[in-house]
Amino acid sequence: MAKHLEKYTGTKTYMTPSGELFTPQSVLSRYPAVSEFAHIVETDESGEVMFALQNLSALRSMYGVSASLTESEAIAAIETIVNTVPEYAPTAEDRIAAALEFSNILSMEDATV
């Protein structure tokens, strides 16, 4: 499932994953920083569910997104980064080998006691 990011504008009502409604007023009362700093919403394809509300500047820093980009460009860059599949994903054989290695280490510890 791809993550969708959009700028928080304070004009839209979102639903939380638990079914609670976040009106612009309730978001502002819970997260007053939205009135002072740019924030983004991690949402679904249709933009209805608020999975996360995060400070744009913090995300720029976390993901190394240049401050020279506009807000729209930065949001698009962050969305690309969070939706990029890691280059290396462990195979089933890798996971089995790691589990066996861990099992061997545990058995060696038992033998020394």
Taking only the tens place, the pLDDT of each residue in 62-110 is 999 999 999 999 999 999 999 998 888 789 999 999 999 999 988 886 6
Mean pLDDT to the nearest integer, 46-63: 96
Q: What does the pLDDT read at residue 2?
A: 86
pTM confidence score: 0.73
Q: Which residue bears the tokens 């033998």?
A: 111
Mean pLDDT to the nearest integer, 8-18: 96
Q: How far apart are the first and last CA of the chain?
A: 47
Q: What does the pLDDT read at residue 109?
A: 67
The predicted-structure confidence for 33-48, as pLDDT tens digits, reads as follows 999 999 999 999 999 9
For residue 26, what are its two tokens?
């309730």
Which residues is 42 bridged to in the sheet? Answer: 5, 52
Does the structure show a pLDDT above 70 at 22?
yes
Q: Residue 73, SS3?
A: helix
Do 43 and 4 form a contact (C-beta atoms < 8 A)?
Answer: yes
Half-sphere exposure of 9 (CA within 13 A, CB side): 7
